[in-house]
Amino acid sequence: MSEDRWNTVLVLGGIRSGKSAFAESLVADAPSVRYVATAVGGEDDPEWLARIEAHQRRRPQSWSTEETGGDPARLATLLTEAKPDETLLVDDLGGWVASVLDPARQPNDDEADVTALAAAVRACAARLVLVSPEVGLSLVPVTPVGRAFADALGTTNQALAEACDGVALVVAGQPTWLKRETLAERKAQAVAAPAEPAVLSSAPPSVATPAPPAVSAPPPPPVLTPEPAIAAPTATEPATVTEPATVTEPTIAAPAAPAETPVRDVLTERTMTLPLVASGLTEIKPGMDLPMPSSDAGPDARDRLTDIDLPGAGLGTLAEAVEFAAATQETAVPRPWSSVRVLLIGGRHAGGAAAGADPFDVERRIAEAEAGTGLLGRLAGQAGADIAVLRTADAGAMEDGPVTDETTVEAALRQGWQLADAAADAGRDAVLLTGLGTGLEAVATAVLAATTGAEPVAMLPRVLLPGGRFDDHAWMVRCATIRDALHRIRQEPRGATDILRELGGPDLAAATGVLLGAAARRLPVLLDGPFGIAAGLVARDLAAQTRHWCLLPEAGTLALVKQGADVLGLTPVLQLGLDLGEGANALTVLPVLRTVVGLASALPVHPALLAEHGDAGLAGDNAENSAENSAEDSAEDSAEDSAEDSAEDDGTSA
């Protein structure tokens, strides 16, 4: 890791403060993580075991787990032996302190154990995140054992806070950085006290973007859908196409209302090659190393917003869209998305998941999208977007058994990847992922519950009927279906492909493939609704980098979307309370996002701040302009002098 990147971070927080989730978000971009568990005992405590299981469900499949057990020295050994290319997450130090204070180890020099651990943290070559409880804000324990634990944990936290590059305190899910040293401060400290170990961070945790090579496109899967049907564009309706399974070079007419800004050349952007198997084909599997957006351009763009010439206080929450666009375009002055493709994936789920759904009404809406009419067609036309519709194979009843087979899952993943490839090859600079079908909300709820431990009854949306009425009986049937499905898979593996096979189906597998392919092509993805959120949760277990290429334009009204977005670390740009259906919310606010990104890029620095911005860039520009003006003036003067001399010479000759 370069010297201006963080290496070790201590995350503090109280019980249920969100400290573990925040720590996991710091390492979510790592291809693989070694999760070091320190908890000891609790085998006879169901509530404690439930807490441990909830933590296990949150971890991606690519992570490995190691337990230190009752040996405190084991943790220091793990940190000392870690390699520079590894990432470790230790959760939490409360279990480690309990092991140190174990009566079976007494008498013992506990302070020596703390000193050894702090030294191991300083010497750790790997990227390291430590989680520790903060108990110093409560009353002094009334028992000797409680006081000993609080004192030992406080001493440990102080020692490790001194040893770590960064320290964050999480309260009510909100992190606050307590320690963030600058590079200049670290160098000054190193010069003043060379005996001290070097500190390796200058900012809150961020990841340098690698310079990746080109990606190998997955091979075409078996054809699962009919030939594409192309609709001619009108003044307000987009050109649309129903994509077949072999998505190579789809023929789609230009959007009816393109934006004024030029289309970014996505065909020449950097991509990354995935691991190849013996057959020479790209293998979609957990732990894929996909590109990351720029870790510097986004914060630079947000900092620039404070200086641009605005009469008001700023863009508010819309700054999130500017920062996202800057990071994904790798520039502090991003362009608004001018050519967006809506990827609509249609699927049908059997059994109780589809209770209360009208398959004929769903088919009507898919047909309207194919024809470029209806709500999605109208909104896409106004936004200058086109629509690509993919119909996938039907999925079985999740309560009865696996909804599809392994072969279909793999084919659908590649199919979705090709949809993203086709959008990038067509020059689109962003895609909007949406789904339409029977049972999608129940499937998304089941996936959220299976991957995060969320309570399905609290997450499942009510079943809305035409006329604004709700079918509560159908909702109860869906709840029972999800309950039975989760009970059925309680002993089954819960990797990404397992979830897709058991619960998700071909449509969610295709959506997951879209996110993977878009990340490989550095293509931003707008998510909108339960379907896209569920795909993001599954894609996270295959490649953690995918979530960094996703933006949630509008929060909507569904608890399912808000909970899933929180797990993925996605902050909604707007919270207007729209409930127009999958994809329609994002299309409605897309013109607003384009406007703010364009304003942020076009507006100059406020004139009153120009004098304060006497940086190298401005000085360089002034010097360059002065040099050009001087050269031009010299050339003009030289030409005038030459002309005068010639005239005098001619007169003399005459």
Active-site annotation, residues: 55
Per DSSP, the three-state class of 647 is helix
Whose tokens are 């086709």? That residue is 422
Token digits of residue 30: 């790592």
At what angle are helices 93-100 and 110-123 packed, to 10 degrees?
Answer: 140
Q: Facing residues of 414 across strands?
A: none
Distance CA 343, CA 240 (A): 10
DSSP 8-state class, residue 225? S
Q: Which alpha helices (H) appear in 124-177, and where do they start and end?
A: 144-163
Q: Residue 457: CB partners within 8 Å, gap ≥ 6?
A: 479
Distance CA 408, CA 416 (A): 12
Per DSSP, the three-state class of 631 is helix
The number of beta carbons lying within 10 Å of the beta carbon of residue 373 is 17
- Of residues 477, 489, 542, the one with CA closest to residue 514: 542
Distance CA 415, CA 392 (A): 10
Sheet with 525-527, side-by-side order of all strands: 230-231, 240-243, 386-391, 340-348, 430-438, 525-527, 550-551
Q: Residue 154: CB partners within 8 Å, gap ≥ 6?
A: 135, 136
Distance CA 515, CA 509 (A): 10
Residue type (1 letter), 166: G
* CB contact at 8 A, 159 and 115: yes
Q: Give whole-number Cα distances, 129 to 86, 526, 564, 569, in Å.
A: 12, 30, 23, 17
- Of residues 19, 119, 25, the one with CA closest to residue 79: 119
Distance CA 29, CA 544 (A): 5
Residue type (1 letter), 231: A
* CB contact at 8 A, 419 and 514: yes
Residue 413 has φ and ψ, to the nearest 5°, of: -60, -45
Q: Give whole-number Cα distances, 399 to 339, 349, 436, 487, in Å.
A: 41, 11, 21, 9
